[in-house]
A and B are shown apart, each in its own frame.
Chain A
Amino acid sequence: MNPVMTIAWRDIRSYFSSPKGAAIFFFFLGFMGFFFQNFVATFVEMTQRAPMFGGQAPTLEQLLRALFYNLHFILILIIPAVTMSSFSEERRNQTLRLLQTSPVTATQIVFGKFLASAAVLALVLACSAVYPLFIKAYGNPDVGVILTSYLGVFLLICAQVAFGLWVSSMTSNQFMAFLFTMFGLFLLLILNWIAPNLTGGGILESVVKYIASTDHLDVFFKGMLTVADVTYFLCFTVMFLFFTNVVLDSQRWR
């Protein structure tokens, strides 16, 4: 087996041979279910009320978009929980030495870890498909929008995992890794809203807004698939994987 796959497979198994994997699934799907139930109830209520007040009834797409926005929020809590252990735990248990003294490169280690975390989250994401499927069973949503939204969220997950790995590679303390990843991702989410306060307008504001993940994700949620936004997430992912690689490699020189 390729060393990348060996490392990834061990990590994936490790998520599920401890309660950690189960806990992640439980909280993610539990919260998603709670929000789904709530949103659907609101959706039904608003649909019934709309004719009475002469307003427009909400569309299924709006319901889905609300659901996906929520997904973004939940991910901010879930991603750090998945990535925090990837390097920090190995460092704390000294198992990182096993990887460092094996004939594998730092890049292979980073890709292995990335694949493992991304695969676990992709699995979680796949399970969350039960909610859109529910809507599909009882309604008539645009399947294209659901698919692009899922692609967007998956790309977002890859970017967030890369960021989480980078943070995790710098500390042997899992809690610190969790905290820093969570706040980093949170900052990325709200960057769009606080950009005017940070920069006072101008070109700088648009740069900061570009860095934020929200606008790019919106494009996917609207059912569009653009090269620019796919590139944004891919660049983000590659950049932080590269940073992780640098951190890991540089430790041999400290």
Chain B
Amino acid sequence: MIEVSGLSKRFGTVQALTDVSFKVEKGQIVGFLGANGAGKTTTMDIMCGCIGADAGSARIAGFDITETPLEAKRRLGYLPDVPPLHGEMRVEDFVTYSARLHKIPAARVKGRVDEALDRLSLTEVRRRLVGNLSKGYRQRVALAQAIVHDPEVLVLDEPTEGLDPNQIVQIRELIRSLAGQHTIILSSHILSEVQNTCDHIIIVHGGRVVQQGSYEELVQHMQSGRLYRLRVARDASRLAATLAAAGNLVGVRAADDDEQALEFGLTKDVGDEALDEVVRHTVDGGHGLRELAAKTKSLEEVFFQLTQ
């Protein structure tokens, strides 16, 4: 449904994207995961025809975005990172405007607008001015704009940004309810969101796709460099510095829940014998080994490891 191949983009001296390729099957929800500045928005802008790529192509539902932009854009709903709202318009007028721009037949415009407003629980604010709404409402108006023409492909750039927890749950449910009939690609830097919502995850870092697959695949792939938890009796922070300097370990850091516990991973090419060294450092340094255990990985750790 979405086919991106070999995208490269340079802004002046900054190489924003390098050879970004991925495919999204019909009906999937795909998470586009990356730190700030990883190239998520640039990729989405290119996919939607806002900016051009230096190399590579993007196809939406079989239509190339640069060669047949009208056909591609007709099948596309886009929620940019900054919601594209006209503050001086009423909510329903704005959504109607968007529906008309997307060439919905005049007779069906009203029905579509009502449906979109209803879906995003905007019916009670439909007569309000967009500019006077709170951030959460504005985000929903922008989302209504993206779904009003019932596009085959939905591109959502950080859809839950700036929403309160209740609204985040609402939007997530909405996104999941849209799956199946729509193909959705959403970007985020919030890992739990992607982990909960998406069938397929694409991790970008520094303008490149570093890993893609389902959550299970990603975690499995990373098992070669397992993650461990080490708890000691005293001076965990000093031990962390020693271990980080020793090499063979990646991502040495203090555990969130216990100040005398550390977490670390092994680099891919070393075996479990590196653990012996960890124990030796712990005992020799007089830290008092209390616990050493392998951890199952969360997406956060996969992400952490990939983007270090």
- In the bound complex, residues from chain B placing their C-beta under 8 Å from that of A17 are 88-89
Contacting pair A254 B50 (CB below 8 A): no
Contacting pair B70 A252 (CB below 8 A): no
CB 8 Å contact bits of A2-23 with B (1 = contact, 0 = none) = 0100110010011001100000
Contacting pair B73 A101 (CB below 8 A): yes
A6 touches which of B80, B86, B89, B97 (Cβ 8 Å): B97
CB 8 Å contact bits of B73-110 with A (1 = contact, 0 = none) = 11010101011111111000100011011110010000
Bound Cα distance from A13 to B86, whole angstroms: 11
- In the bound complex, residues from chain B placing their C-beta under 8 Å from that of A97 are 45, 48, 50, 78, 80, 84
CB 8 Å contact bits of B53-88 with A (1 = contact, 0 = none) = 000000000000010011101101010101111111
Q: Is A140 an interface residue (CB 8 A)?
A: no
Known A10-B97, A93-B86, A98-B101; judge A251-B51 contact (CB<8 A).
yes
Known A102-B73, A102-B102; judge A95-B84 contact (CB<8 A).
yes
| Residue among A17, A96, A98, A254 with max Cβ neighbours from chain B (10 Å) | A98
- In the bound complex, residues from chain B placing their C-beta under 8 Å from that of A252 are 49-52, 66
CB 8 Å contact bits of A83-126 with B (1 = contact, 0 = none) = 00000000001111111111111000000000000000000000
Bound Cα distance from A75 to B82, whole angstroms: 35
**Shortest Cβ distance from B54 into A: residue:** A253
Q: Is A228 an interface residue (CB 8 A)?
A: no
Contacting pair B86 A95 (CB below 8 A): yes
Known A101-B48, A252-B50, A254-B52; judge A94-B86 contact (CB<8 A).
no
Bound Cα distance from A94 to B50, whole angstroms: 11
Q: Is B145 an interface residue (CB 8 A)?
A: yes
Contacting pair A3 B84 (CB below 8 A): no
A-contacting residues, B243-286, CB 8 Å? none
- In the bound complex, residues from chain A placing their C-beta under 8 Å from that of B66 are 252
Contacting pair A254 B51 (CB below 8 A): yes
Contacting pair A98 B52 (CB below 8 A): no
Bound Cα distance from A251 to B46, whole angstroms: 12
Q: Is A137 an interface residue (CB 8 A)?
A: no
**Shortest Cβ distance from B71 into A: residue:** A103
- In the bound complex, residues from chain A placing their C-beta under 8 Å from that of B70 are 103-105
- In the bound complex, residues from chain B placing their C-beta under 8 Å from that of A96 are 84
Known A18-B88, A98-B145, A251-B51; judge A1-B76 contact (CB<8 A).
no
**Shortest Cβ distance from B51 into A: residue:** A252
Known A6-B100, A6-B101, A17-B89; judge A98-B84 contact (CB<8 A).
yes
Nearest 8 CB-CB pairings of A with B: A98-B84, A102-B101, A94-B82, A103-B74, A103-B73, A253-B52, A252-B52, A95-B84
Bound Cα distance from A253 to B74, whole angstroms: 21
Bound Cα distance from A253 to B52, whole angstroms: 5
Extra pairs beyond A97-B84, A98-B84, A98-B101 (9, CB < 8 Å): A10-B86, A18-B88, A93-B87, A98-B98, A98-B145, A102-B101, A102-B102, A103-B70, A253-B52
Known A102-B102, A103-B73; judge A94-B88 contact (CB<8 A).
no
Contacting pair A1 B89 (CB below 8 A): no
**Shortest Cβ distance from B76 into A: residue:** A101
Minimum distance in angstroms from B104 CB to a CB of chain A: 10
Minimum distance in angstroms from A86 CB to a CB of chain B: 13
Contacting pair B101 A94 (CB below 8 A): no
Minimum distance in angstroms from A106 CB to a CB of chain B: 10
